[in-house]
């Protein structure tokens, strides 16, 4: 099983010919994160790829801080957790564990902008307890042999930490700021962080 914690904006990254587009689940491109889109092709160890990810902001302890992301306080790296296409290879029907291995091979060990989201196998309950102890949003579990398909959300298990401190006041915060930020109109779709996205593979 693939497990991860995160609290950010879900995005697909389309990288080709030195250019990157960040696309949320609803298909409209993000209009901010310009530094991130410029840096990703430089750090990616592939000529062309489609990656599934979360755009996040991390504090000094490596914990995601959603308000920092929302208000663009500091840089927002890209935490990649799946690889759909790479240098001519359509990987959507490959087992998750193979896609993760390929993803690991094209992400830097210590990237400033592109981060690899690892996984834990067979220790899901302990991992979830650890996420709660560290006040993280929760975990997502996937079968290690599952393919990546548009309707694959049925194969994902979202386990939320109901005591997560950063949930408090979030909806009110969005309503107040939505008119001032070009990407907040996309939030309703981004909030469904595990919703499957129809992916058009470049040729």
| pLDDT given for residue 178 in this prediction | 47
Q: Which H, E and C letters describe the chain, residue by residue?
A: CECCCCCCEEEEEEEECCEEEEECCCCCCCCCCHHHHHHHHHHCCCCEEEEEEEECCECCCCCECHHHHHCCCCCCCEEEEEEEEECCEECCCCCHHHHHHHHHHHCCCCCCCEEECCCCCCCHHHHHHHHHHCCCCEEEEECCCCCCCCCHHHHEEEEECCCCHHHCCHHHHHHHHHHHCCCHHHHHHHCCCCCCCCCCCCC
* pTM listed for this prediction: 0.76
pLDDT at 8 over 50: yes
Report domain extents, the chain: 9-184
pLDDT for 124: 80
Assign 170 a pLDDT band (cuts: 50, 70, 90): low
The answer to whether domain 9-184 has CATH 3.30.470.30 is: yes
pLDDT tens readout for residues 73-90: 878 899 999 999 999 999
The predicted model gives 57-81 an average pLDDT of 84
Identify the pLDDT of residue 141: 83
């Amino acid at each position: 099983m693939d497990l991860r914690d995160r609290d950010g904006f879900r995005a697909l990254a389309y990288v080709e010919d030195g250019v990157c587009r960040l696309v949320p689940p609803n298909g409209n491109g993000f209009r901010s994160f310009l530094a991130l889109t410029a840096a990703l092709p430089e750090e990616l160890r592939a000529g062309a790829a489609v990656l599934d990810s979360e755009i996040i902001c991390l504090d000094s302890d490596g914990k995601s801080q959603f308000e920092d992301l929302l208000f663009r306080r500091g840089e927002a790296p890209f935490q990649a957790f799946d690889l759909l296409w790479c240098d001519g290879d359509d990987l959507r029907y490959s087992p998750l564990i193979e896609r993760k291995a390929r993803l690991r091979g094209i992400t830097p060990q210590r990237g400033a902008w592109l981060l690899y989201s690892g996984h834990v196998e067979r220790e899901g309950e302990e991992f979830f307890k650890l996420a709660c102890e560290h006040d993280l949003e929760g975990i997502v579990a996937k079968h290690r042999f599952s393919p990546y398909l548009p309707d694959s959300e049925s194969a994902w298990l979202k386990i939320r930490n109901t005591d997560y401190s950063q949930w408090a006041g979030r909806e009110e915060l969005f309503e107040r700021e939505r008119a001032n930020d070009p990407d907040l109109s996309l939030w309703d779709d981004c909030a469904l962080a595990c919703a499957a996205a129809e992916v058009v593979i470049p040729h």
